[in-house]
Chain A
Amino acid sequence: MSASTVAEAENKASPATASDVVIETRNLGKIYRDFWGRKKVAALKALDIEVLKGEIFGLLGPNGSGKSTTIKLIQGLLFPTSGRAFVFGKDARDVTKNERIGYLPEESYLYKFLNAEETLDFYGRLFDMPAELRRERSEQLIKMVGLQHARRRQLKEYSKGMTRRIGLAQALINEPDLLILDEPTTGMDPIGSREMKDLIVRLRDEGKTILMCSHQLADVQDVCDRVAILHQGELRELGRVDSLLKVRDVTEVHTTQLSDATKAKIADLIRAEGGKVISMDNPTTTMEELFLDIVQDDRPGQRPSSKPAT
C-alpha cells in the first residue's frame, strides 16, 4: 500500500459522522427456512457494521460464513429475519438507493445472448440514462475493461475473465458512489486480477466507497482498508487491515546496500539491547509480482495497452 494510501487510511480512523456512513447494519440476521417454515440454517447472526464513505471494506470469511448473504441483504435481494440494513441512510429494500450503487455479482449473471455494447446499453437504460450518455459511458467502459476487440460478440462466447470484465463495466455504468463486489477476482488470471485490484484502489481514490467480499486473502490484504471477518454467520473480527495484521512484538527494518559487517554490527547491537534477532535475510518477492514481471511485457495481444487508464 502506498504511503498516501496509508495516510488516508489513518485519517479514516477518526470517528465517522452520520453523513460518512454509507452502509450500516443493525443486528442484521438471516435464517433460511425450508418450505414448511422450519429453520434450516442461521446464515447470519446479529451483524453490526458500518462502511464509511471512501473506504474499501472487505468481508472476509470461508465458504458459508455469511458474506454473500450480507451483500444480498444490503441490496434487498434477501429480507432480514432480524435487524435492518441501511444504505445511504435508506432501508435496504428501498429501490431508489440502487441509483447510487454498482453491483458485480459473484458469477456476473448477465444475459448471454447480448453482446458487450447491448449489455451496457441495457443496463444504462435501467438507470434511465439518455441515449447519448449511454453511448459515451459504454464506449469509456469497454475501453477501460479492455474489451474493444470483443464488443460485438455475444457474451456466451466470452471467457470467464472477459465475463468478469463486462460484469464490472455494467457495475460502473451509472458512475456509482458505492460499488459492491462479490468475489471480484474470481476466474481472473493474475494479470486480470492485478488490474482489477488496481482499479478498485483507483476507484476508491476517486472517492467511491467499495464493499467487497472475497475469500482470496491476498486480495483483501492488498486493497482493503478495513475488513470484517465472518465465520459461521458471526462477526469475529472488525478493524483496519494494517492494524489487524500488525505483529506488535516484532520489528521489521528494510534497508538497502548493507555489507555483511554492518549486518553483524546491527545484530550485535540488538543483542546488546536485550533483543533477539529472529532472522536477517534478503526478503522474497511474491509469486504474483514475479509472474507479472515475467509476463507483463511478453504477453501477446493487447493486454499491456488494455490496462486501466490512469
Chain B
Amino acid sequence: MRIEPEQMWSYFEWLFYHYGLLQGVLVAVALAALGFIACYLISMARYGPGEGFYHVTRVIYELLARDLPRTSMRRIYALGRLAFQEAIRRRVLVVMAVFIVGVLFAGWFLDPSSDNVARLYISFVMTGTSYLVLLLGLFLSCFSLPADIKSKTIQTITTKPVRCTEIVIGRILGFTAVGTLLLAGMAFLSYQFVSRGINHEHEVKDMASDGMSGTTSYDAKHQHQFELIENEDGSMGGTTDEQKGHRHEVVVRDVDGQRVVTLGKPEGLLGARIPVFGSLQITDRSGNVGSGLNVGYESEYQKYIEGNSLMSAIWTFDGVYPGRFGGGDSLPLELSLKAFRTYKGDIVTGVQGEIILKNPDGRVESERRGFVVKEFAVDHIEIPRKISGSRDGQPVEVDIFDDLVSEDGQLQVVVRCKDNGQYFGMAQPDLYLRAGDSTFGWNMFKGFLGIWMQMVLVICLGVMFSTFLSGPVAMVATMTCLMLGFFGNLALDVATGDLPGGGPIESLIRMPLQTGAMVDLDLGNEVLETVIKGADQGIMYTLVSVFQAIPRFGQFNTADFVAYGFNISGGLVARHLTMTLAYFLLTSLIAYFFLKTRELAAA
C-alpha cells in the first residue's frame, strides 16, 4: 500500500499550513468570477448590455436577499422526501439485491489460499459497494430533474413558494438519503461477510512426543505449527506461527485429569493499527542533509540510501508520550523498507540494517539495533523502554521516553543499511510508530464513509448538471468528472505539460509527422510554431483550471487503509468531509444559478 504524504497531514495542517482553505477560497472566487462573466455575456446577448447586467445582478441579489434567508427546512425536507420516495418506488432497492447476490456467490470466486484473505475479502466488498453506489448516485441524480422538467411536474412545484435553493438541496439530500440507506445495508453485510468469511478454526493434529509442540489441522487452505511455553504461574500456553497474516492462541486446559490443547480464533487478520508518522530526512554519503539516491526507477516515491556509508534515513516524530503507546513499556515501531541489491548476496539472510533512536538534541542515543529487511511485508519491532545507549558518548542505560524523547515530545529514528553495495529504499510513511490499534469495525465504517462521500459528490455533480442539461448528457458530464476525478493525475500531467510532447495541438501535429516527443517541434516556420504553442498554452491553462475544480475522487477512497489494516485518521476523515461540504455548497450554488435563469416551462 502506498500512503501519500498528504494523507499523513493533520486536519489543521492541511487547512492552514498546506493552504487547503486558501485553495478552496481561490477555486470558489475563480468560479464565481467566471460564472458571472459567462452569465453576463449570455444575458447581454439576450437583453443588451444594460438590461443584461441588471438581470445577472438581480439573480445574485435574489439569492442573497431573498432565497437564501427564506429557505425553509420544511420545504427542503418535503422535496428530499419526494426524491427519496421517487427513488424507492422506482425500485432502486434492486441494487441491494444485486449486492446480496454478489456477496452470496463471492465465496466461490475468492481464493481462500490467498496470502492475505482478509485483504482480498475487504477489497472485494468495498470495491463492489463503491461501484454500485456510485452508479446508483449517477443514475438517480442525472435523470430525476430532467424527467420532472419533461413531464412538467416541476411546474406544480415552481408555482408554489419554493426557492431554487430548496429544489437543489432537497434533491441532493433525498438522493443522498437513498444512497445512505443502501450503503448502510451494504456496509453491514460487508462487515458480516468479511468477519465471518475469514473466521476459521483449527484442531490439534499432531503433538510432539514431549507434548511441547505440535501441528494444527489443515483448514482454510493452511496449517500452523506451535510450541507451548510454561508461564510464570505454571500454566501452559502459546501461540501458533504466523500463516497468511494471522496466528491462533494455543490454550492448554486440564479436563478430568486429561491435558486438552485447543486453538483460539485467528488473531491479527482484521486490524486497524494507528500509525504515528514522522518527517523524513535523508543524509548523503558525507553525512550532510541530502535527498537520497535514485536507483533507476521512474517512480520518485522512494529514495534510497547506500549500505555501509554515512547515508542514513532519519525520521523525526512529534508527540511521543508514553500514554500514546499503551503506557510506554515499550515503543512499537513498524517498517516496510525496500531492498535494492547490486549483487545477489546472502539471499537467505537478506539485507541487513540498523536502527538507532536519538534525542534530537544529539546528546543521547540508543545502541544500534540490527534488523534484516523484510521486503513486501511489515516488520514489527518492539523496542523495550530501557535499553543500552550513550549520553555524550558515554555508555549508559537510557529510557526511551525520559532520555531519548526531547522536552517537546520529539524523537528521532535513524535507519542505516549495513551491507556494502546494497541499498535501502524508503518513503516517509515506510516507518512509523504504532500507537495501538483501533477497532476494525470502526475503521471499516470510516472506509465506507469515504465511499459515501464519493457518492455525495457524484450526486452533487449529477444534480448540478441536470439543472441545465438533459438526463443522458448530464450523465455523460458527470461520468467525465468521475473519470477525471479518479484518473486526474494523468490528465493533470498532460494539462500542465509535465508529460513531454507539448499541448493538444502540438501533439496532434506530432502524430502524423511521427516526431519524437523529446525533440523540439520543428515545422520550419517559427511564426506557426509560436502560434501553435501559444494556443496550446491557452488550452492547457484552461484544462488545468477545470481539473483543479473537479473533485479528486481517488483521494476519498480509503478502502486500502481498511484492507491493509491501517487506521483511517480522524484528520483525514475531517478533511474529506470538509471537501465534500465545500463541493456540496459550490455545486448547489452553480445549480441554483442555472435553475433560476432557466425557463422551466419552455422545455
Residues of A within 8 A of B (CB): 32, 37, 72, 75-79, 95-96, 98-99, 101, 103, 105, 107, 109-111, 113-114, 118, 122-123, 125-128, 170, 174, 180
Contact = CB atoms under 8 A, between A and B. Distances in A.
A107 B156 contact: no
B74 A114 contact: no
Nearest to B600: A77
Contacts of B599: 77-79
B302 interface: no
B159 interface: yes
A98 B90 CA distance: 30
A286 to B, nearest CB: 33
Nearest to A72: B601
Given A114-B85, A128-B72, 5 more contacts: A32-B602, A77-B601, A99-B161, A101-B159, A109-B155
A113 B81 CA distance: 13
B75 A125 contact: yes
Interface in B125-182: 151-163
Contacts of A126: 75, 78-79, 157, 160-162
Interface string B571-603: 000000000000000000000000000011110
A170 B161 contact: no
Given A96-B161, A98-B161, A125 B601 contact: no
A200 to B, nearest CB: 18
Given A114-B85, A126-B75, A128-B75, A95 B162 contact: yes
B85 A123 contact: no
A101 B158 CA distance: 12
Nearest to A75: B159
A111 B82 contact: yes
A123 B600 CA distance: 19
Interface string B490-519: 000000000000000000000000000000
A265 B90 CA distance: 76
Contacts of B46: 37
B86 A113 contact: yes
19 contacts: A32-B602, A75-B159, A77-B155, A95-B67, A96-B66, A96-B70, A96-B161, A98-B162, A99-B161, A103-B155, A103-B159, A105-B155, A111-B86, A111-B153, A114-B82, A125-B78, A127-B160, A128-B72, A128-B74
Nearest to B88: A113
Interface in B58-109: 66-67, 70, 72, 74-75, 77-79, 81-82, 85-86, 89-90
Contacts of B531: none
B45 interface: yes
A110 B82 CA distance: 12
Contacts of B70: 96
A109 B156 contact: yes
Nearest to B86: A113
Contacts of B155: 77, 103, 105, 109
A110 B85 CA distance: 14
Contacts of A125: 74-75, 77-78
B75 to A, nearest CB: 6
